[in-house]
Amino acid sequence: MRDFEKISFNQFKKDVADDRDLYDSITIPQRSSEATAGYDLPLLNDLELQPGESVKLPTGLKARFQPDEVLLLIVRSKTGFKYNIRLCNQVGVIDSDYYNNPDNEGHLFVKVQNEDTVAHSFKRGDALVQGVFMKYLTTESDNNLGKNRRSEY
């Protein structure tokens, strides 16, 4: 089973604001049709992005899904084509064990950057990013998980 959930209000207070009304207004992402792959992640607040500006955005959401699945966070086509806004990491890769982790409950954040030459404004509830759940495959030789991993760059 997979789904999006709100983070707890206590975590919301730590990461976003001590604002119960804002917390209560969080909506769970939905697909716009049966043929849509992505779940739009709505903005919590109005946003104005200046040219070259990047901003880390909390979603107030976490996601649970199966161990052999991944959640990909991808900029929506309209966001990239129309506004020239990108995700700073290009594609967010969320592993299933991120859910309810002790550091932040698995709170999903996105960082976007305005690559355009003009400022762009968005309203609360607009979606710049979508989440896509996918199955993934592993190699036969990964039976030594954690043993021969390369250090991070």
Residue 147 belongs to a domain: no
Question: What is the CA 119 to chain-centroid distance, rounded?
Answer: 22
- Given a cut of 70, whether residue 92 has pLDDT beyond it is yes
Residue 119 has a CB neighbour count (10 Å cut-off) of: 11
pTM for the model stands at: 0.90
- Beta strands at 54-58 and 127-135: parallel, antiparallel or unpaired: unpaired
Cα distance between residue 68 and residue 39, in whole Å: 19
The string of pLDDT tens digits covering residues 4-50 is 999 999 999 999 999 999 999 999 999 989 999 999 999 999 999 99
Residues spanned by the domain of 80? 3-136
Q: How far is CA 23 from CA 12, 58, 89, in A?
A: 7, 12, 26
Residue 141 belongs to a domain: no
* 143 within a domain of the structure (yes/no): no
User: Looking at residue 95, which CATH number applies to its domain?
Assistant: 2.70.40.10
Residues 94/125, Cβ–Cβ less than 8 Å: no
53, part of any domain: yes
Residue 78 lies in a domain: yes
Q: Is residue 149 part of a domain?
A: no
Residue 148 lies in a domain: no
The total number of structural domains in the chain stands at 1
Residue 52 lies in a domain: yes
